[in-house]
Structure 1
Amino acid sequence: MARAGLGITKWMIDHGLAKIEVRSADGNHTLEDVYILVVLSKGKEIMGKLSIEIQTRKSIADGKGAEKFYNELTTPPDKFWETELRDLVIKKKQPCKIFVQPDTIIVSN
């Protein structure tokens, strides 16, 4: 998982927008979908706090503070994040959507 994606996922889990649960009979972890009602009621506020945190550090040129915040945000809390969760995210990853637009050219001899 890319570090930024890991950081956003960790922020969402830490602030109650998403959750990791054991849901399958074989004991495998599944990444629970984001809670729709929680996102609708608190998502803007919670994700806004992340944006403000990042933007504030950037605006005041707090390089050391920004680096510390980013490293804390993107450091996996345990081995589960580096192994099972990463594999789960990759398994659920969907291919990029590609938009192809035709181009017509008139060629005369």
Structure 2
Amino acid sequence: MTKNPYINALVAGAYIVFVVLLVTYGPTFVRDEPDTIFAPMAMLSLLVLSVAFMGYTFIFQPTLMYIDGQKREAITLFTKTLLVFAVITAVIVLVAFSV
């Protein structure tokens, strides 16, 4: 992604919001038929896509920096991105359990 940990963490959070909205409100747009084998296949595909996207968001840029010899900067970027995302997660959990 970028070398800005705040943008990386916000993009990850926005992706999670998008997926939650899709899973929550998506079924209202499809027909009212029982689930088929395609529902579990879609969820597993979404899981794989999510893991790949989060890996790209959190790991890709620090790995490139590490390979280029910027080891300290790579570790700092990864750590800051992870900490910002942890704060975003903590805020979401606090809001979810306070409502």
Higher relative contact order (CA 8 A, sep 6+): 2
TM (norm. structure 2) is 0.34
Greater strand share, 1 or 2?
A: 1
Max Rg structure = 1
TM (norm. structure 1) is 0.32
Greater helix share, 1 or 2?
A: 2
